[in-house]
């Protein structure tokens, strides 16, 4: 079985087929997600919280990301693998390229993800120049949690909504091929999804995005602590983990998740 390609994900957007994405951090989960219809994984630096027990993504290192990404790549055959560049791993163009090359070459990633808008344009252009596919991440950017003063919904006022929209356009112009939008009003998620030609994957960005992603442990209801409004436990009412994954994929494909109760206004 061969892996999905970015072209196939792009075709899904063109044809109106929703893209089901979940996070993966190890081979066993990657294999289960792969077998049950998940189109793409994000090997997210959220592993800092759900695997390592930190209270943010900031302590996660490049070695951590390479290790987890390689485990996920080994455990899967079909899903497209997107791996996060962690905090402080893309502060210069040279560092960005070297670290992205590690995620691709050692970590088996198909694409790397980085957070931020206009300030990332030079980094993105350098990666594209070296044939490294890039995923952007706007809205709530967890690596900026200190500057943001906590995990808060973004884009609620006119200025910040306009900034996120302009950043999204600039990132696409610079060459990103997927955009993740986190914790923004559903109306802004819809607008950005309509304006961009690349697939837009939402997490707390409303049902109109081209696809959805959740932290797998949240989707299974096994994460501890604060539960964000957009989180839904798909294990509830199912007998096992594989049925829960299939229920998530089906709900995303049929635009039944996220419902209004999981969306920000």
CB–CB of 213/22 below 8 Å?
yes
C-alpha to C-alpha distances, 244 to 126, 142, 198, nearest whole angstrom:
40, 26, 28
Q: List strand residue ranges (DSSP E) for the chain, in order.
A: 19-23, 40-43, 80-84, 111-115, 134-139, 178-182, 200-203, 211-214
User: Which of 182, 208, 210, 218 touches ligand KIV by CB under 6 A?
Assistant: 182
Least distance from C-beta 214 to ligand KIV, angstroms?
7
Name the residue nearer to ligand KIV (CB basis): 14 or 148.
148
Active-site option among 182, 194, 250, 261:
182
Per the annotation, the verdict on 261 as an active-site residue is no
Q: Are strands 40-43 and 134-139 parallel, antiparallel or unpaired?
A: unpaired
| Binding of residue 203 to ligand KIV (CB under 6 A) | yes
Site for ligand KIV in 13-72 (CB under 6 A): 23, 42, 44-46
Q: Which of residues 121-150 bind ligand KIV (CB under 6 A)?
A: none
Residue 247 main-chain phi, psi, to 5 deg: -65, -40
Residue 202 as a binder of ligand KIV (CB under 6 A): the answer is no
Q: Quote the least distance from Cβ 142 to ligand KIV, whole Å.
A: 7
**Could you tell me if 71 and 109 are in contact, meaning their C-beta atoms sit under 8 angstroms apart?**
no
Binding site for ligand KIV (CB under 6 A): 23, 42, 44-46, 84, 180, 182, 203, 213, 215
The set of catalytic residues is: 182
């Amino acid at each position: 079985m061969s892996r999905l390609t970015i072209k196939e994900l792009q075709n899904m957007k063109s044809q109106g087929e929703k893209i089901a994405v979940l996070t993966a951090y190890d081979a066993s989960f990657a294999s289960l997600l792969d077998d049950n219809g998940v189109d793409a994984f994000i090997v997210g630096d959220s592993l800092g919280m759900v695997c390592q027990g930190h209270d943010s993504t900031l302590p996660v290192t490049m070695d951590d990301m390479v290790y987890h990404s390689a485990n996920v790549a080994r455990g899967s055959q079909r899903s497209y693998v997107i791996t996060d560049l962690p905090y402080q791993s893309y502060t210069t163009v040279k560092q960005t390229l070297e670290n992205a090359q590690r995620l691709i070459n050692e970590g088996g990633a198909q694409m790397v993800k980085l957070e931020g808008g206009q300030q990332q344009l030079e980094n993105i252009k350098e990666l594209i120049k070296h044939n490294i596919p890039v995923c952007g991440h706007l809205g709530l950017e967890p690596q900026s949690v200190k500057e943001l003063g906590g995990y808060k919904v973004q884009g609620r006022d006119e200025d910040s909504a306009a900034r996120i929209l302009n950043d999204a356009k600039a990132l696409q112009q610079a060459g990103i091929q997927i955009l993740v939008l986190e914790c923004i009003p559903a109306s802004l998620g819809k607008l950005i999804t309509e304006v961009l030609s690349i697939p837009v994957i939402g997490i707390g960005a409303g049902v109109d995005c081209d696809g959805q992603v959740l932290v797998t442990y949240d989707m299974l209801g096994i994460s501890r602590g604060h539960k964000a409004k957009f989180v839904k436990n798909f294990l509830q009412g199912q007998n096992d983990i594989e049925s829960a994954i299939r229920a998530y994929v089906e709900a995303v494909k049929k635009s039944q998740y996220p419902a209004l109760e999981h969306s920000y206004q």
